[in-house]
């Protein structure tokens, strides 16, 4: 137990650590897992920048497709419409993709989503340079 000699195991206030996460050179701003009905949009607010993921099933196309739409009224908003991201085995963008240049920094996202019985699990990371 020599590795515990510098810590008081019975302390009421344990030491605090600062943890930073990186993917390559990109710093992870936020990451997590969200659960919702498969058709509900997912929204993130980063100060006054809004990032929206909309999910649509489109039987007219057989592949997955991502459409983007930027708005600037009243704040900055980016809508990502994800078509046919409804695979029970999962699908997404695992390599971070830049979505905006905001407050002097590049903002990236990566995600992986799974749909089972009408419910969505949305795994995401928001990163910056």
Rg (CA), the chain: 19
Q: Report the alpha-carbon distance of residue 100 to residue 77 in Å, rounded.
A: 10
What residue numbers bound the domain in which 83 lies? 17-128
* Cβ atoms 28, 125 nearer than 8 A: yes
Q: Looking at residue 15, what is its pLDDT?
A: 82
Q: Is residue 10 part of a domain?
A: no
Q: How far is CA 26 from the centre of its chain?
A: 14
* Cβ atoms 77, 50 nearer than 8 A: yes
pTM for this entry:
0.83
Q: Is residue 11 part of a domain?
A: no
Total domain count, the chain: 1
Q: Report the alpha-carbon distance of residue 117 to residue 128 in Å, rounded.
A: 34
Q: pLDDT for 101-127, tens place per residue?
A: 999 999 999 999 999 999 999 999 999
């Amino acid at each position: 137990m020599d590795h515990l000699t510098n810590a008081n195991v019975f302390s009421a206030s344990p030491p605090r650590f600062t943890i930073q996460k990186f993917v390559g050179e990109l710093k992870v701003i936020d990451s997590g897992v969200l659960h919702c009905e498969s058709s509900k949009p997912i929204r993130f607010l980063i100060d006054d920048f809004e990032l929206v993921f909309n999910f649509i099933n489109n039987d007219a196309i057989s592949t997955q497709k991502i459409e983007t739409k930027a708005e600037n009224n009243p704040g900055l908003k980016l809508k990502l419409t994800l078509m046919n991201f409804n695979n029970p085995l999962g699908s997404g963008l695992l390599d971070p993709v830049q979505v905006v240049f905001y407050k002097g920094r590049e903002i990236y996202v990566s995600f992986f989503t799974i749909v089972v019985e009408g419910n969505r699990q949305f795994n995401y990371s928001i990163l910056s340079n």
